[in-house]
A and B are shown apart, each in its own frame.
Chain A
Amino acid sequence: MARFHVEVKVVPRATLLDPQGQAVEHALSALGFPGVERVRVGRLLTLDLEASDAHAAREAAQGMCERLLANPVTEDFSVGIAAGD
């Protein structure tokens, strides 16, 4: 078994209105940052996980997303795996 560091990014579906993203986008443009588009505000979850290999760690993290960490109706997720300490 090895330890892995997992990062799960959850963002609202692109087709869904994201009022937080819009508010941030307006604020950025008010601050004078040009060319900003399609701001989405989501969540970052980090966790350490024991698994036999990186593939198994990814599978486990994907299962977590499907069951709990993301809502399949409204959110998309991506999983990043790195070797843990």
Chain B
Amino acid sequence: MRVAVLRFPGSNCDMDTLRAAQLAGADAYFVWHRDTDLQGADAVLVPGGFAYGDYLRAGAIARFSPVMDSVVALARTGAPVLGICNGFQILCEAGLLDGALVRNAGLKFLSRPVAVRVESTDTPFSGAYRVGDTFRMPIAHGEGRFVASEHTLNRIEQESRVVLRYVGTNPNGSLRDIAGITNPDRNVVGMMPHPERAAHRQVGETRGAGVFDSLMQFAQVIGGAQ
């Protein structure tokens, strides 16, 4: 499984994301945002950080980076694409995911572990979990409040496209406590919590590794079917 990890000016979770994918067994490598060649990627990870300093809106400028045309084209073929934190914001701005991420309801930048529950396992990034699995992952964002119209929210719920939901405290005022969603084709996933920061015993939390294990399991199922 060849996994491209994008790098923008301002990405800062790229190394952790690469490492987490490699620990899961992926052949993961970096692709610079000005490149258009994804080098035969089977999947793309858009890491967190502050691409272009979050100028204008988080993800608004990054979404027009040359590499994003290739990412959108690959996503349209059904290939797995994951956006983490700033990556989630970029995928929303790019129109690959519904809704938008706006300033936290409490206005503060939040950097802390939060409890999340897995709501849907029918995606390439959550198949290694069970519905209802609850664990902690760190969040680190100032603009993580997921918003969408009532109509869109209802459709997301009806189609079981909420992948992760905050449990206990909703840290940022996200509508319906949404921490992560998928698209109608279920190949693109975005989440605000950082699984790559909760994927190794050395950092305390390990359940985030399931996101990357899910991708490898997905690759095996697809590979087996061919």
Contacts and interface: CB of A to CB of B under 8 A. Distances in A.
Contacts of A20: 103, 107
Chain B, interface size category, equals 20 to 34
A82 B87 CA distance: 38
Query: SS class of chain A's interface: helix, strand, loop or mixed?
Result: mixed
A74 B107 contact: no
B60 interface: yes
Interface string A59-81: 00000000011010110000000
Nearest to B173: A17
A19 interface: yes
A23 interface: yes
Q: Classify chain A's interface size.
A: 10 to 19
Contact of A74 (B64, B100, B105): B100
Contact of B102 (A12, A23, A68, A69): A12
Contact of A19 (B93, B104, B149): B104
A36 interface: no
Contact of B93 (A16, A69, A71): A71
Contacts of A73: 92, 99-100, 147-149
A68 B64 contact: yes
Contacts of B2: none
B106 interface: yes
Contacts of B102: 12, 16, 74
Contacts of A71: 57, 60, 93, 100
Interface string B143-157: 001011100000000
A68 B147 CA distance: 18
Interface string B181-222: 000000000000000000000000000000000000000000
Contacts of B107: 19-20, 23
B225 interface: no
For the complex of A and B, list the 8 residue pairs with the smallest distance between their C-beta atoms, beginning with the closest.
A73-B100, A74-B100, A19-B107, A19-B105, A71-B100, A74-B102, A71-B57, A74-B147
